[in-house]
A and B are shown apart, each in its own frame.
Chain A
Amino acid sequence: MTDAARLQWAQAMVVTGIVLYVPANVLPVMTMTVVGTVEPLTVLGGVEELYHSGLWPMAAVVFLASIVVPFLKLASLSWILLMHGSPLAQRQRGTLRRIVHSIGSWSMVDVFLLAILAAVGQLGALAGVKAEPGGLFFAAVLVCSLLAAEFYKPRMIWQTSSEPTR
C-alpha cells in the first residue's frame, strides 16, 4: 500500500469516525431496566446520571474516557492529517500520534464494560441491561480512530509535499 493510499484510508477513517461520533453520543448505548423502569442511557446521559447521583469522580472518569478522549483522538488525528505534507510542527505531530496510538489500546474499555454489563446484568424481570445501537456506533468510532492511527505511519509526518512521495 502506498503512502498515498494510507493517507487516504486514514483520512477516510477519521471522517467516518467523526460521522459516527454524532449518533454514538446521541443514541442510547444501552437500556437499563431496573424494577420495570426502562431507562435508555446515552453516554452523556449516563455521565449526567452518575453526576446527579453524587458520583462525580466517576462521572468525570466516564466523561473523559468516553466523550473527551474519543473526541480528542478524532480531533488530534484530524489535525495530524490536515497538517500532512506541511513542514510545520512535525515533531509535535509525531508525539501526538504516538500518544493517540498508545491510548488506542485502552479505548475499548467502555465497550468491554458495556459488553460485560449486557452479559452479566440480566437479573430476570427485576433488572436487565441491553446494548443499544449507540454502543455499536461508539465502538465503531473507536475502531475508526484506531485504524486511522494505524494507517497513518509516523514517517509520513516527515514527508513534505516538496519531496517525492516515495
Chain B
Amino acid sequence: MSEPENENSDHGEIVLRPRLRISWAWLFPVLAALAAGWLFWSDWKSQGPQVEIEFATAPGIEPGKTNLVYRGVVAGTVKSVRLDDKLQRVVVSVRLKAFAADLAREGTLFWIDQPVIGLGRTSGIESLIQGNSLKARMGEGPPALHFTGSEVVPLSQIEEPGLILTLRSVDVPFLDRGSPVYYRGVIIGAVRGKTLDTNRKPVLSIMIEKQFADLVRGNSRFWSLPAAAVKLGAGTVQIELGGLKALLLGAVTMDCFGEPGTPAKDGDEFLLSANEFAARTGGEAIHITFDEGFGLRPGITELRYLGVPVGLVESVAADISTGKVETTVRLAAGYESLRGEGAAFTLVRPRVSLEGISGIETLIAGIFIDCAPGDASRPADRFVGSNSIEAQTREQGLTVTLHAKEIPTIDKGAPVLLRGIVVGTVTEKSFGENNEPSLTLMIRKEFARTLASNAKFWRVPATSIEAGPGVLNVEVSALQSLWKGGVAFDVFGAPGDPAGEGARFELFASERIARAGSPPIRIEFPNGQGLLAGQTQLRYLGIPVGIVEDVRPVEGKVLVTARLDAGYDLLRRKGSAFSLVRPKISLQGVSGLETLVSGVYIECTPGAQGPLVDRFRGASPQELEEEADGRAGFQIVVQSASTSIGINAPVLYRGVQVGKVVRKVLAADGTSAGLIACIDLPYAPLLRENTKFWDVSGVRASLGLFAIKIQTGPLKSLAYGGIEFATPPDMGPRIKTGHVFKLNAEPRKEWLSWTPEISLSPSK
C-alpha cells in the first residue's frame, strides 16, 4: 500500500506554501507603542487647563522651568512668558496639572514668590535656592482662565482671609503691612496695608483669618499696641514691652468689651484707637464745657471717677462765640450711669495747697477730669465743667467773708486753719463793701460748727520768729502757707453761737492782734525807731501782753496803735507808762539785749487806779528813768567852776552809789556849771545843808616818801567822773529839792573821817 502512496507522491511535489507565520518579534513594537502611548497619554492626562496670569513684572519666571506651587505642591508649570501688546504687562501662561485644574477659577490669587526678608516676616527663602516660583491661593468663583496676579505676597497664603476690615485712625505711625492683629495675645490676622483714603485720612486694611473671623463683632474695638509703653503711676513705673514682633512692627489689638454684638462683615469699618483705654471708652459721648482747656488733649486726657479712668476726651474745641472750651468725652462701657443730671466735672491739675500737694501725678500723666456722678435716672449729655477743685466743694460748706484794710499774701486756694487743722479754703479774693478787700472762705461742712460767731480770724504768716533772752523761736508755718499764705481762726473765750452762712468777720493781721480783742490804745512816742506794726510787743513785767497794730507818724510824733490782750485792763488806766525798750549797752550794765534779736518792745508800767483811757504818751527809757528819778528821788544842784563830770556820773556816799548826775547845766549867768544830781529817796536824809561834795573823777596819785598811792573811784567814775559827799556829824537840817551845793575839787582830810549816824528813811 506504500506503492500507491509513492505513486501518489509522484503526482507532484507537494509545495508547502510558506505560511504567513507572524513572529513573536512583532510583540515588541506593539509593546513599545503601547508604552510610549501610555506615557504620552498619562502625560496629557495629567495636564489641566492652561491659564494666563498678568503681572506687572515677572522676575525670575522662566518657561518650562518655573513651577506653580500650591500648598507646597507643584500644581503646574509655566509654559510661556510674554509681554502684552502694549508692553505694559507680563502675561505668564501656566499649564496646570490635572489635579490642580480647580485652581482655574475666579478669585484665585497668583503671586510670584520672591524672597522677602523683613523685620516682621521672612518668606520665600526657598526661592533663594530654587529660584522664584509662582504661588496660588485658591478662590471660590466660577471657572476662569485669565487672571491678574498679585504684586505682593499675600499675608495668608493658604486660604483666603475670613474678613477684610478697614480701620480708620488719626494716624498710624508704627503699623505697616504684616503687623500682627492680636486678640488676647493670639495672632488672629495681620495688617494688609495702609493707605490714605479719598479724604487723605489714613486707612488701615487688616485681614482676619477665617478661623477667627467670628471673633470680630460689630462692637469690637481695635487699638494699636505700641511697641513699648512706659506707664508712670504713683510709686510705680511700669514698662511694657510687646512681643518682639510687635516691637518691630507695632501691632493691632482687638477685643470686645461688653456683650459681643453681631458678627462683622467683610469690609466693615472700625475705629483704630490710640490705646486700650481709648478703645474701651467708645461708649456714650457727653459734652462738657470748661472755662479754659489748658492741658486738655484729645485722646489722652482721661475722665476719672474715684481715681479710676472711666472715660476719655475725644475732642477739644474752643467756642469763640461763648469763649468756652467744648470737650467731647466718651465714657467707658459700664459707666454710662455717671452721666446723670447734676454730675460735676472738674479739671484736675497739679496743685500745691495747704491741703497737700494734689494732682501731682498729673505732672507726668497730664491733667484729667474728675467727675462726681449725678442723678443716674436722668441722663444728660451736656455739662458745665469747673476748672478748680474748690469749685467742686463750694456748695459743700459754710461760706463766710472776711474783710480787712489790706490782705497781702493770701490768695485763692489758701487754707483756712483752725488750730493747725485745715478746715476750709479761701475761695475768692475781691473787694467787698466800701472797697475793702475781702476774702470769701469756704469752711467745710464738717467743721462749720467750729466757727462761732465770736471767732477771730487772722492771717497766718509764713514764718514767725520769737526771740527772747536765751530763746530764739523760729516758727515756719506749714510749707503750703508759704505758697499762698493762709487764714486761721479760733475762738477766744467761750464760743458763741455758730456763725451763719455769709457771716462777716474782720481779718486781723496776726494772731496776737486777733487775740488782743480789746479796743485799741494809742500811744504817742517822740521817736518810733524800731517799731513795727504787727510785730512790736507790749510787755508787762517782761511778759507779752499786747501788740502794736499800727505805727504812723502824726504831727512830728509817732502814733502807735496797740492792742492789749484781754485781762490787762490795768494797763489801760490813766497814768500807765509806756516806754520803748531798745538795746542799751553802758558801763552800768547791758539792758534790753534781747531786743537786738526780737526788736524793740514797749514796756508797760501800770498806772494808778485811774479811769480807763485810750491815749497815752510814750517815752524813751531815758525819759522814763528821768521821770522815775524825778519822781522817786530828789534833785540837788552841785555847782562847780568847771567840771569834766558827765551825765550818769555816780553820786557816792562812802563809796556807795546813792544817786547819779542826770543833767549838766550852765548857770544862768554863765559863771559856773551845775551838775543836777538825782539822789535816790532812801538816801535823801544823808544830805544836809552842810554836806560837802567833792570830785572823785579820774585817778588820784599821791606821791609820798615811801609810797605811791593811787586812788581811783569806782570804774564807772573813771569814765563819767563822780561826786562823793560827806556829811559832818553835827549835821545841819535836811535840804529840799533843788538845794545848791558847791563842788570841791578835793576832800579835806577831816571830811573823810566824818561818820555821822543818820537813820535812813524807808523809801517812799
Contacts and interface: CB of A to CB of B under 8 A. Distances in A.
B23 A12 contact: yes
A140 interface: yes
Given A23-B39, A137-B36, A8 B25 contact: yes
Interface stretch (A35-43, A62-70, A76-84): A35-43
B36 A4 contact: no
A19 B40 contact: no
Interface stretch (B26-34, B213-221, B308-316, B742-750): B26-34
B130 A8 contact: no
B72 to A, nearest CB: 15
A133 B31 CA distance: 15
Contacts of B40: 23, 26
Nearest to B40: A23
Given A35-B129, A37-B65, A133-B39, A4 B18 contact: yes
A19 B25 contact: no
Contacts, number: 59
A117 interface: no
A15 B32 CA distance: 9
Contacts of A12: 23, 25-29
Interface string A4-36: 110011011101101110110011000000011
B117 interface: no
Contacts of B65: 37-39
A102 interface: no
Contacts of A9: 23, 25
A22 to B, nearest CB: 6
A165 interface: yes
Nearest to A33: B130
Contacts of A19: 29, 32-33, 36
Given A37-B65, A37-B130, A16 B32 contact: yes
A22 B130 contact: no
B18 A23 contact: no
Interface in B105-135: 126, 129-131
A16 B29 contact: yes
**Range class of the A interface residue count:** 20 to 34
Contacts of B23: 5, 8-9, 12
Contact of B28 (A4, A13, A23, A165): A13
B468 to A, nearest CB: 101
Contacts of A8: 22-23, 25-26
B123 to A, nearest CB: 16
Interface string B17-61: 010011101111101110110011000000000000000000000
B115 to A, nearest CB: 12
A49 to B, nearest CB: 12
Contacts of A20: 32, 35-36
Contacts of B131: 36-37
Given A12-B25, A12-B26, A35-B129, 20 more contacts: A5-B21, A5-B23, A8-B26, A9-B25, A12-B23, A12-B28, A12-B29, A15-B28, A19-B33, A19-B36, A23-B35, A23-B40, A26-B40, A27-B39, A36-B126, A36-B130, A36-B131, A38-B65, A38-B130, A144-B28
Interface of B: 18, 21-23, 25-29, 31-33, 35-36, 39-40, 65, 126, 129-131
29 contacts: A4-B18, A4-B21, A5-B23, A5-B25, A8-B22, A8-B26, A9-B23, A11-B25, A12-B23, A12-B25, A12-B26, A12-B27, A12-B28, A12-B29, A13-B25, A15-B26, A16-B29, A16-B31, A19-B29, A19-B32, A19-B33, A27-B39, A36-B129, A36-B131, A37-B65, A37-B130, A37-B131, A137-B36, A144-B32
Closest 7 CB pairs of A and B: A12-B25, A36-B129, A8-B23, A36-B130, A15-B29, A9-B25, A16-B29
